[in-house]
Amino acid sequence: MNSVLDIIYKQIVKRPDHSALHYLEGSQYIPISYMQMALSSERFSMYLNSLISPSSSVVIWATNCWQWAISDLGIQLSGCDPCAAKCKRRVLFHL
């Protein structure tokens, strides 16, 4: 069975410039490529690793947005355990 990270990695290798996500800015949808998503997730992962130890639980407190998707991937890449929480404010914190 493939994990989400495995599936996304395959897409990065096969189609790095293909759109992975789109977000609405004003009245226009803006694409985020698989490579952009990977680099942003990796950068967030390194930031988390500078603050907390792997295997920590990390809560994403956000609406369903592109930042949530990248944060979730970054948390998984860092070796931490992502725990989803929904709220109207966009706040990331660790337990």
Note the pLDDT tens digit of each residue in 14-24: 999 999 999 99
**What is the per-residue pLDDT for 95?**
40
Tokens found for residue 91: 């706040």
pTM of the model: 0.79
**What is the per-residue pLDDT for 57?**
85
Torsion of CA 80, 84, 87, 92, to 10 degrees: 10
CATH number at residue 11: 3.40.50.980
Tell me how many domains the chain contains. Answer: 1
**What is the per-residue pLDDT for 88?**
44
Q: Taking the mean position of all CA atoms in its chain, how far away is CA 13?
A: 18
**What is the per-residue pLDDT for 64?**
80
- Which residue positions in the chain have pLDDT lower than 50? 87-95
Domain that includes residue 27, residue range: 4-94
Residues 6 or more apart whose Cβ sits within 8 Å of residue 79? 49, 54, 55
**What is the per-residue pLDDT for 20?**
94
Starting at the edge strand found earlier in the chain, the sheet holding 57-61 runs 81-85, 57-61, 91-94
Number of Cβ within a 10 Å radius of residue 91? 10
Q: Which residue stretches of 1-95 are H helix?
A: 4-14, 34-51, 66-77
